Structure formats: C-alpha cells, structure tokens
C-alpha cells in the first residue's frame, strides 16, 4: 500500500529550478533509494517532502492526507522525519541530550524516557556513550546519534540524507545494518546516497535523479543490472 506519493513535484530556489515534475512513491515498510550526482536535487526532494522547501507545482500525499502545503512541524506530526545531511549535532551537549532533542514536540517525560530506552535497546553502543559529549564521538557514531534523534519522533517514514558520507568502511556497514533494523520495525525509509551500490543493496526499489528529474526508477535488482546505472553510478 502506498504511504507517500509525490506527483509532478517541482521546486526552486529563486530562479534555480532544483526539482521538476518528480513522481515518487514509497510503500508501507519499504526502503527506497534515491541516487544521483551532486546537485541532482536529492536533498531538495527530501526538504520539499518535509515542507522546508515549498512546492512550486505538484502534490505530496502521506497516507490519506495531502501534505503539500503543511509546515515542517505539521509534517513531522504526521510521521515524516528528516535526518539531514551533515548530522547537525550540538557538539557541547551529551549524546543523550542530543537524542532527546528529537522528541521536542513531546512534553511527557515518561514517554520520552520510554522512547529513549527503546532506542538504547536498538543502538546499545549509544547507551554506553550516553553521557559523553557528542564532539567526542567518531563520525560514524555521530551519524548513529543523528539517526537516533530522528527516531525519537517515532516516524512512519524516515528520510535519511547521505548517512554514510565521509564514514570509514566499518561504520558504513554499521549504518547499513541500522537502516535494515529500523525497516525491520515496519518503518519506511527514503535513503539518499552517493554510495549507489550500498543503497541498492539495502533498498527494495530506487529512483535516479538527474538534473532535478527522475530519469530511471525500478526494483533495486533491475537498477543494479541497468547499464546506465552501472556506468554512471556503480563505477562501470
């Protein structure tokens, strides 16, 4: 069943058209990869879905609701959470404090504590580091914190923007494992990645964005064996 459907979406920054006529669907419990070169419009697509960049044309539906004109806070409440590129942690706050920020729309301390405990069960390494300053963590561990923070809002759809960027190979696999674990809980994921091979191994389906438009989409296996994808995104 369709969870998110983006239809004919266009977005721009003043005169720069960053997305044009994009159609994309995410089904329940599905991981969808979005691939593309620098500047292809991947981050803009995610920001448009969560209401950070306004739609110029088109429609975005989430579940039974039209979310095309909702504000970011309202989209979050509907169950769509963005984990932005670059992690954006507060370096002088502890791991636990950073993670708790993801529940800022929830006032009930008991609920926050329960969510935090659930996340620590899922990410035991973060539990060990709960009292450390975020700045003392490796890049990969910081990425885990950023994902855990996004999970505090209990999303139905998690949008991950370049979660493996700049990470060591071991941590890349940790992040991949985590995405699968999250998806195993029934949460749908849009995974924006420059690492196309990794993304297509995790995802059920994928979309290729080129110059702001969808040039290809299909099952991950189909894309992995597609000649254009192989040449441009999988290193030939």
Q: How many C-beta atoms surround the C-beta of residue 181 within 10 A?
A: 12
For residues 10 and 2, give the distance between their C-alpha atoms in angstroms, rounded to a whole number.
21
* 139-151 and 109-122 helices, crossing angle to 10°: 140
In whole angstroms, how close is the CB of 43 to ligand ATP at the nearest point?
3
DSSP H helical ranges for the chain = 42-49, 72-78, 95-100, 109-122, 124-128, 139-151, 169-184, 196-202, 220-224, 227-233
Number of residues that bind ligand ATP (CB under 6 A): 11
* Span interacting with ligand ATP, options 11-19, 65-73, 146-154, 196-204, rule CB under 6 A: 11-19
In whole angstroms, how close is the CB of 220 to ligand ATP at the nearest point?
19
Q: Which is nearer to ligand ATP, 83 or 137 (CB)?
A: 83
Q: Are 135 and 155 in contact (CB under 8 A)?
A: no
Q: Which is nearer to ligand ATP, 37 or 224 (CB)?
A: 37
Strands 2-13 and 57-62: antiparallel
Subset of residues 44 to 103 that bind ligand ATP, contact rule: CB under 6 A? 44
Q: Which is nearer to ligand ATP, 3 or 40 (CB)?
A: 40
In whole angstroms, how close is the CB of 114 to ligand ATP at the nearest point?
35
Q: Which is nearer to ligand ATP, 156 or 197 (CB)?
A: 197
Site string for ligand ATP, 16-55 (x = CB under 6 A): x-x-----------------x-xxxxxxx-----------
13 binds ligand ATP (CB under 6 A): yes
The set of residues, in sequence order, having a beta carbon less than 8 Å from that of 159 and lying 6+ positions away, is 46, 49, 50, 80, 81, 82, 83, 189, 190, 192
Q: Which is nearer to ligand ATP, 17 or 224 (CB)?
A: 17
Q: Which residue has the tokens 């008991």?
A: 110
The gap between the terminal CA atoms of the chain, to the nearest Å, is 35
Q: Which is nearer to ligand ATP, 38 or 64 (CB)?
A: 38
In whole angstroms, how close is the CB of 88 to ligand ATP at the nearest point?
14
Subset of residues 171 to 230 that bind ligand ATP, contact rule: CB under 6 A? none
CA distances from 96 to 57, 79, 112, 198 (A): 40, 22, 11, 29
- The residues binding ligand ATP (CB under 6 A) are 13, 16, 18, 36, 38-44
């Amino acid at each position: 069943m369709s969870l998110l459907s983006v239809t004919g979406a266009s977005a721009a920054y003043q005169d720069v058209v960053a997305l044009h006529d994009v159609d994309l669907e995410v089904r329940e419990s599905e991981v969808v990869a979005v691939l593309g070169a620098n500047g292809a419009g991947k981050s803009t697509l995610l920001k448009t879905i969560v209401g950070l960049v306004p739609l110029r044309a088109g429609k975005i539906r989430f579940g039974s609701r039209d979310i095309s004109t909702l504000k970011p806070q309202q989209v979050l409440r509907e169950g769509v959470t963005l984990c932005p590129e670059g992690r954006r942690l507060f370096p002088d706050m502890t791991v636990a404090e950073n993670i708790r920020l993801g529940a800022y729309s929830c006032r009930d301390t008991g609920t926050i504590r329960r969510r935090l405990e659930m996340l620590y069960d899922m990410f035991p390494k973060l539990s060990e580091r709960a009292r450390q300053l975020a700045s003392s963590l490796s890049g990969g561990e910081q990425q885990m914190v950023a994902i855990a923070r996004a999970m505090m809002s209990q999303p139905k759809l998690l949008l991950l923007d370049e979660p493996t960027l700049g990470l060591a190979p071991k941590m890349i696999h940790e992040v991949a494992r985590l995405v699968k674990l999250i998806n195993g809980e029934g949460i749908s994921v849009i995974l924006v990645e420059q690492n196309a091979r990794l993304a297509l191994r995790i995802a059920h389906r994928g979309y290729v964005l080129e110059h702001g438009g969808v040039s290809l989409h299909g099952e991950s296996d189909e894309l992995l064996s597609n000649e254009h994808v192989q040449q441009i995104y999988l290193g030939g």
